Amino acid sequence: MRSVMKVAATVALVGLTVSACGSKPTDSSSTTPAGGSTGNAGATSAAPAATGGGSTQASGKALQACMVLDTGGVDDRSFNQSSWAGLQEANKSNPNIKISYVPSNSSNDYVPNLNAEVKKGCDTVLAVGGLMADAVKKTAAKNPKTHFGQIDAPSSGTNVYGLQYNTAEAAFLAGYLAAGMTKSGKVATFGGLNIPPVTIYMDGFWEGVQYYNKAKGKNVQVLGWNEKNQKGGTFANSFTDQNKGKQISQAFAQQGADIVFPVAGGTGLGAGAAAQSSGGKVSVIWVDTDGCISAKQYCQYILTSATKNLADSVAQYVEKGADGTLPTGNYIGDLKNEGVGLAPYHEFDSKVPADLKKEVDQVKADIISGKIKITSPAQPKE
């Protein structure tokens, strides 16, 4: 298992080493920020272990690991960036692992990009994001000799390894924390799109607030989402539109919310801008990565981050392939295996009451033990 210091050091290089997306696949052996981080209730690393299926032998002495990014670019401060960081970390630890990525400008690029990587002779093709699941299923079925890694969706074939994350657990902690920290009695969340990898975060956040209310006899309100209405909620319909994210966040602030939980990739940076414009009256809880590293310009407004440890799980997946065997079946990251968690409180550390920190830690323990049951319908299943 990778140490916390190694993950943090890797993450800290984001501003220096992540280049913008181009039209051609880019090989690199440098490092960029890891997707997971350790925190007060937090995640350190996660070793992907298959829960079903067999294994596929990697061909040749070197392993060629190729990645197809979703829209948003390699520097999206979210799942693209974290997933690519995992390949870079694998390449750094084992130069025999050759890596590259290709960007997707729209969903129309998914199948062509996947097919291009197959034709290139990649030993494994990693698809970033659940929106690519159907494209991976079709492409994998037509190319049984190529192995695929599918991030944020389950395995769809014997040559597909599904990497999923029960981020509802981390978001539950974030919701409980937000309910304990709000001064206005109102918190808010919005998504990029109404899809399971997004709503799972929103569900967990909503549930965490409800749990706090029940435990404390409070009535903290959640604007933007109610788990009981999966077709409702507030969505930007974009993972890149920062202006939209700012508009939504400012609208929440006008309604009284003082903590915003954006589940929207780069669009979420607009929440940071809104918090900045508010003069600190509004704070943000980031998702996927440690926001104080991936969106460090807004660190003073970021209470914490609900993280999923994409980088380490991706790295360890391809490292297994370099050892001779690419896993198949499914990996599910959760609080117990440290595949998800909370990042440090950073600049809010002295502002979060000690009693609340202890309560968050206890809630984490109760989720792991099964005492607290999370009900989000978007949770990945074994």
Q: What integer pLDDT is reported at residue 232 of this predicted model?
A: 96
Mean pLDDT of 27-52: 35
Give the residue with greater pLDDT, 4 vs 292: 292
pLDDT tens figures, 215-274: 999 999 999 999 999 999 999 999 999 999 999 999 999 999 999 999 999 999 999 999
Residue extents of the structural domains in the chain: 4-166+310-333, 167-308+340-369
Among the ranges given (37-46, 132-141, 346-355), the one the predictor scored with the smallest mean pLDDT: 37-46
Give this prediction's pTM.
0.81
Residue 367: pLDDT band with limits 50, 70, 90: very high
SS3 154: coil
Residue 61: pLDDT band with limits 50, 70, 90: low
Among 60-64, 265-269, 352-356, top mean pLDDT goes to: 352-356
Q: What integer pLDDT is reported at residue 254 of this predicted model?
A: 98
Q: Mention the CATH class of domain 4-166+310-333.
A: alpha beta
Scan for tokens 């969903």, then name that residue: 107
Q: Cβ atoms within 10 A of the Cβ of 362, count?
A: 14
Distance from C-alpha of 258 to C-alpha of 23, rounded to nearest angstrom = 40
Mean pLDDT of 183-197: 97
| Architecture of the domain delimited by 167-308+340-369 | 3-Layer(aba) Sandwich (3.40)
| H-assigned helices in the chain | 4-11, 14-17, 79-93, 110-119, 133-142, 167-181, 196-216, 242-254, 269-277, 291-294, 310-322, 354-369
pLDDT tens figures, 68-82: 999 988 988 788 999
Residue 352: pLDDT band with limits 50, 70, 90: very high
Q: What integer pLDDT is reported at residue 76 of this predicted model?
A: 84
Q: Do domains 4-166+310-333 and 167-308+340-369 have the same CATH topology?
A: yes
Please name the residues in contact with 187: beta carbons below 8 A apart, sequence gap of 6 or more. Answer: 175, 178, 179, 209, 220, 221, 222, 223, 257, 258, 259, 260, 261
